[in-house]
Structures are given as structure tokens and as C-alpha cells.
Amino acid sequence: MLRKLPRLILALATLLFGLVVLIFRRNNLKPVYRGLRYFLEHKSYQQTLRILRNDPATEALIRERYHEFYSVPWDELKQLAPGTLGYEFYQFMNKPEVTPLEKLPESKVEITPEIDYLRRRIRLIHDIHHVLTGHPSSELGEMGISAFYVAQIRSPLNAVLLAVGLIKCTLKCPERMDELMEVIVEGYAMGKKAKPLFGQKYEEVWSVPVTDLRQRYRITSSIHDFVTRAPLPDEKDEDLADLQAVHSLQ
């Protein structure tokens, strides 16, 4: 245990430093990449992997490598009826503040074929989760999704993102702390009530209305009018892009 302690301290310190850098120096993800290389070996990340694999649906996706290199049929999705998952996903991804999937940074960290598949899969479905949960593409929306992920899979990276969000709010906009805490608490409660979302085959329900899927997955919250919330002070496109990029490293 003592032999592993220096490596553990290095992992946590490097990752925390990288995330805190995002508060003050935008578009600098290099420290996050370095910290992630160590952090993937930490017991908190291994716990998340166990939670994912204990879900039969997610385990089945991993075994069959379901849509491992899936290409989203954008032209088909935009022709679906408004309100369906595919159409709303298309509309969400075409918002100017959302980073397109193909432009998200790729972490060079390779672990195992199974873990690498899971990370690619989560990069794809992250924005689908935005659509299903109603969290908008904003810093507050990303905080809500992070809390949802902590509730569902105890995601350590998202737990650290929440800590960084609280630090940033404390330093830059303390008057918004109550609002941020409401978003975090509600996102966490939503994640606890919902069915596991990481093993769902969303590609097979593009034509299903989002309202029906929310009932199917037990996603219930007043968060669906959350889009009306004002952005955090000094919220920039670069800030949001950094948060989206860090989420893509999972």
C-alpha cells in the first residue's frame, strides 16, 4: 500500500491541477491528459468500471462491441419528427455552443480493449444524455450531467468536475452558489431515480419521442425547464468547450 501511495498522490494532484487550470487558463487540457493517465488506474475509476459491468445491458454492449465505430446518420435524424430522440439529438448537436463529436479531443491513453470501447461509447452517448435529462449545453448543464453520472456510476472524473465547479463559483460568482447547488442536487437525485442509462441502445430508438423515453428510463425532474436559467457570469464558449472536452476523456 505504501509503495502505491506516491503514485496515487501524483495521480490525484496532477488531475486536480489540470482541472483547476481550466478555471483560470482556458484551452489548456495538457495537465488533464497527464493526470488521466495515472487516474485510470485508481480504485475509484476501477469501482466505476465494476458498476458499469454489473449492469447486464452494459456488459452485453461490451461483449458484442455494439456499434464500436458508429457513424451517426445525421441526414436521417434531421428528417425525423420533432420531439423524437433522433431529431432532438440532431438539433442539440447543431447548437453553436456544442462541440461536434468529431472535434472532441481524443485521449491517447489506451488501457484495455474493453475500457477503450466504453470510453468511446460514453463520448457518443454523453450528448444524448443531455437531451434525455433536459440539461442544456451550458456550464450549469454540464454540472447537472456530472452529478447525474456520479449518482449512476460514481464517476470519479465527474466528481472532481463538480468540485472544480464549486471552486469556480465560489471565486467568480458566489451569489449563484444556491443555484449551482440546486442543479447538483437535482442532477444527483435524477440519476438515483433513473434506470441505468449507459447500457441503452439509443441507436435503436431514434424515432421514439423523448417524452416516452423519459418515462421508460424513469427520468423525472423539473429540470426540463432548466434551459431558461441564465448562464454563469463570464461563461465563455471556451469554458464550455473545455468542460465538454474533459467529459470526452472518460
Q: Outline where the chain has alpha helix (H).
A: 5-24, 30-39, 43-54, 56-64, 74-77, 85-93, 113-133, 139-153, 156-172, 177-193, 210-216, 237-247
Tens of pLDDT, residue by residue over 31-56, are: 555 556 566 667 888 898 899 999 99
- Residue 171's pLDDT is 85
More confident: 42 or 24: 42
The answer to whether residue 34 is domain-embedded is no
49 contacts 40 by C-beta, under 8 angstroms: no
The answer to whether residue 137 is domain-embedded is yes
- Residue 240's pLDDT is 40
Can you state the angle between helices 56-64 and 43-54, rounded to 10 degrees?
90
Q: What is the mean pLDDT of residues 148-153?
A: 96
Percentage of the chain lying above the pLDDT 90 cut: 42
Domains held by the chain: number: 1
Residue 250 has pLDDT above 70, yes or no: no
The answer to whether residue 90 is domain-embedded is yes
Residue 18 has pLDDT above 70, yes or no: no
- Residue 237's pLDDT is 46
Q: What is the mean pLDDT of residues 143-161?
A: 91
The answer to whether residue 26 is domain-embedded is no
Tens of pLDDT, residue by residue over 62-105, are: 999 988 888 899 999 999 999 999 999 999 999 877 766 665 55
Q: Which domain does 149 fall in, by range?
A: 43-247
- Residue 238's pLDDT is 46
Cell of 2: 505504501
Q: What is the mean pLDDT of residues 239-247?
A: 43
**Single pTM value for the model:** 0.79
Q: What is the mean pLDDT of residues 177-203?
A: 95
The answer to whether residue 19 is domain-embedded is no
Q: What is the mean pLDDT of residues 114-132?
A: 89
Residue 232 has pLDDT above 70, yes or no: no
How far apart are alpha carbons 175 and 169 in whole angstroms? 8
Residue 229 has pLDDT above 70, yes or no: no
52-56, 72-76, 116-120, 185-189: lowest mean pLDDT where?
A: 116-120
The answer to whether residue 11 is domain-embedded is no
- Residue 42's pLDDT is 72
Q: What is the mean pLDDT of residues 113-137?
A: 89
| Average pLDDT score, the chain | 78
69 contacts 121 by C-beta, under 8 angstroms: no
The answer to whether residue 118 is domain-embedded is yes
218 contacts 192 by C-beta, under 8 angstroms: no
The answer to whether residue 164 is domain-embedded is yes
- Residue 138's pLDDT is 84
